[in-house]
Amino acid sequence: MFTTRPELTGTFGMVASTHWLASATGMAVLEDGGNAFDAAVAAGFVLQVAEPHLCGPAGQVPGLFVTADDPTPRALAGQGPSPAGATPEHFAALGLDLIPGSGLLPATVPGAWDAWLLLLRDYGTKPLRSVLSYAIGYARNGIPLVSRVGDTISAVSRLFTEHWPTSAALWMPDGKPASGLHRNPALADTWERLLREAESVSGREAQLDAGRRAWSQGFVAEAIDAFSRTAFRDDSGRDHAGLLTGDDLASWSASYEEPASVDVGDWRLVKLGGWTQGPALLQQALLLHGFRDELSYVDGVPSERTVHLAVEAAKLAFADREAWYGDTDVPLDVLLSPAYTDARRALITDTASPDLRPGDARGPARLPAILDSLQGIEAGGGATGEPTVGPQGQTRGDTVHLDVVDAAGNLVSLTPSGGWLQSSPTIPSLGFCLDSRGQMFWLEQGLPNSLAPRKRPRITLSPSLALRDGVPTLAFGTPGGDQQDQWQLCFWLAHVYGGLNLQESIDSPAWHTTAFPSSFYPRSWNPRELVVESRLGSSTLDALRARGHSVINAGDWALGRLSAVSRTDGLLRAAANARGMQGYAAGR
């Protein structure tokens, strides 16, 4: 089949990400003697400068990894919780029935800095200055902005000029959206001050811990606390002050967790736990493995039957996400069990289901009462892999992704996000803004993902690892909000059942459904809606419509920003998405 790029093959190291500068940075670190973790951290910081409309310093970073010495997958939990003051009563007093998607109210505790430094401390080899120097150089001396940064700024230019003047000062110099070579000296100053405070003590690990404290208990926390007391406009149409305090930052730190996993044939697929949407991919994989004899590809294009079965499986898995997933006791033992999977698979028919049908995993399933009123609400187009940004800064979809493998066998998959330039006003003394991940909570109480103080929102961020015959083999992922674990399913089916290599699997036509509530304000959903790439073929699109799907043709190359690396039989491989003309893999 035709591919946009070759699948890279080598023996030294591979980096694949959503921006070529991050991939090049990761390779530079590997060439300088660093391991996969050093490379990932350096690339992750560069992504905060290279794709500021998709992630930032005050965002979050969940990850999955194995080390050369231990094939047991571990999860990096780099999502901070809601503030102590984020109570349902507070939002009720403001007259809100949904948490806004922009401004200061939806901010959670920034998790990225602490998570990156924790990962570097425990599994990397380089000092902080070595890995952070690349991002500091780009912030200080300038980075070439991709056109989509300017497009994002244009979409919120009125908000910036009328209500967020600190953002306008950074992102609209001379009154026009930033373009070309862009500098952020305030961010460079922040990072250099963090470095100085880290290097006030001796020893690599001690310096990394000092750098973490300088953020969560020092000048960064103080600046965030002070800035959050000011009211700014959000997409509720009103001005609200934030809830984050210095104590919120000081009371949290990143950690490691045991991930969730399932066996699918000779593969073991690994995701973060049920406080994220990650297990939705596990549920889909199990459901579709029962249809494995009906899944087929011809010249890299899936059959109409393959697409239909995948969409119906996604509807069931994401209905369960809505009913059961959250930062609570999630019944994954039931949701991933053979008996439950078989019962759910029996619900899939030859026609498109219009219903949101969660299973009774632990008693009767309960969905948010507000859902019916959210059907069909306009929130920008669902057919783009990049964030769709409204005039008030709200975003559907998000994020960046990177995967790294080295010759020793270290393998890591990370999906950093949050703190987008359009999420909240820039804190001028720091050079970045807060995140808006709190919009993913429901204000209705009694649900797994209901808002509570010091609780993590059910995030869409969803990196993936896979082992084959017990051997760590594959790391992959994509940006895309609610679509992440649907576009990754497209990749998984193409690779595992279609027999396509990494690049072929990424280039194969993609699709997703919006037949379940969005995780992003205003939480809209559209029963039966199916967004597809036209390369599936007109006959396939017609057959899907005949089954009852409401098909939206997104164009030929429109969906997903996947990247992947693998390690098999001593060979390292990598591939990246050509859609959007940003993602690249590098390696040798």
- Residue 501, domain member (yes or no): yes
Q: What's the sign of the alpha-carbon dihedral 496, 499, 504, 509?
A: negative
pLDDT of the residue at 515: 96
Same domain? 380 vs 405: no
Instruction: Go through the chain and tell me how many residues it has.
Output: 588
Same domain? 22 vs 55: yes
CA–CA dist 160, 233 (Å, integer):
10
Same domain? 236 vs 306: no
Same domain? 178 vs 287: no
Same domain? 251 vs 343: no
pLDDT band of 398, cuts 50, 70, 90: low
Q: Does residue 324 carry a pLDDT above 90? A: yes
**Domain ranges, residue 94:** 8-257+397-440
Q: What is the pLDDT of residues 171-196, one digit of tens each?
A: 999 999 999 999 999 999 999 999 99
pLDDT of the residue at 254: 98
pLDDT band of 218, cuts 50, 70, 90: very high
Per-chain mean pLDDT for the chain: 95
CA–CA dist 430, 118 (Å, integer):
21
Return the CATH number at 487.
1.10.246.130
Q: What is the mean pLDDT of residues 25-37?
A: 98
Residue 323: CB partners within 8 Å, gap ≥ 6? 358, 359, 361, 365, 366, 367, 448
Q: What is the pLDDT of residues 258-310, one digit of tens each?
A: 999 999 999 999 999 999 999 999 999 999 999 999 999 999 999 999 999 99
Question: In this structure, are residues 321 and 359 in contact, taking their beta carbons and an 8 Å threshold?
Answer: no
Question: In this structure, are residues 184 and 49 in contact, taking their beta carbons and an 8 Å threshold?
Answer: yes
Same domain? 368 vs 434: no
CA–CA dist 322, 518 (Å, integer):
10
Q: What is the mean pLDDT of residues 239-243?
A: 98
- Residue 186, domain member (yes or no): yes
- Residue 454, domain member (yes or no): no
CA–CA dist 224, 13 (Å, integer):
38
Q: Which residue has the tokens 């690990």?
A: 205
Total-model pTM: 0.96
pLDDT of the residue at 390: 43
SS3 at position 516: coil
Q: Does residue 202 carry a pLDDT above 70? A: yes
Q: What is the pLDDT of residues 440-460, one digit of tens each?
A: 999 999 999 999 999 999 999
CA–CA dist 359, 325 (Å, integer):
12
CA–CA dist 335, 101 (Å, integer):
30
Tokens of 204: 């690599």
Same domain? 165 vs 41: yes
Q: What is the pLDDT of residues 330-384, one digit of tens each?
A: 999 999 999 999 999 999 999 999 999 999 999 999 999 999 999 988 754 332 2
pLDDT of the residue at 44: 98
**How many CA atoms lie within 13 Å of 138's alpha carbon, on the beta-carbon side?**
22
CA–CA dist 419, 253 (Å, integer):
18
- Residue 198, domain member (yes or no): yes
Q: What is the pLDDT of residues 461-520, one digit of tens each?
A: 999 999 999 999 999 999 999 999 999 999 999 999 999 999 999 999 999 999 999 999
Q: Which residue has the tokens 């070439």?
A: 144
Same domain? 491 vs 572: yes
H-run or E-run covering 337: none
Same domain? 221 vs 353: no
H-run or E-run covering 148: helix 147-155
CA–CA dist 581, 161 (Å, integer):
30
Same domain? 245 vs 265: no
How far, in whole angstroms, is CA 230 from its chain's centroid?
29
pLDDT band of 387, cuts 50, 70, 90: very low
Same domain? 109 vs 250: yes
Query: Among the listed ranges 50-54, 390-394, 511-515, which one has the minimum average pLDDT value?
Result: 390-394
How far, in whole angstroms, is CA 149 from its chain's centroid?
18
Question: In this structure, are residues 464 and 495 in contact, taking their beta carbons and an 8 Å threshold?
Answer: no
Question: In this structure, are residues 297 and 303 in contact, taking their beta carbons and an 8 Å threshold?
Answer: yes
CA–CA dist 192, 578 (Å, integer):
34
- Residue 60, domain member (yes or no): yes
Residue 33 has phi, psi (to 5 degrees) of: 95, 0
Question: In this structure, are residues 147 and 582 in contact, taking their beta carbons and an 8 Å threshold?
Answer: no
- Residue 585, domain member (yes or no): no
- Residue 587, domain member (yes or no): no
pLDDT band of 580, cuts 50, 70, 90: confident
Same domain? 506 vs 547: yes
| Number of separate domains in the chain | 2
CA–CA dist 574, 494 (Å, integer):
16
Q: Does residue 393 carry a pLDDT above 90? A: no
- Residue 334, domain member (yes or no): yes
Of 397 and 63, the one with more pLDDT = 63
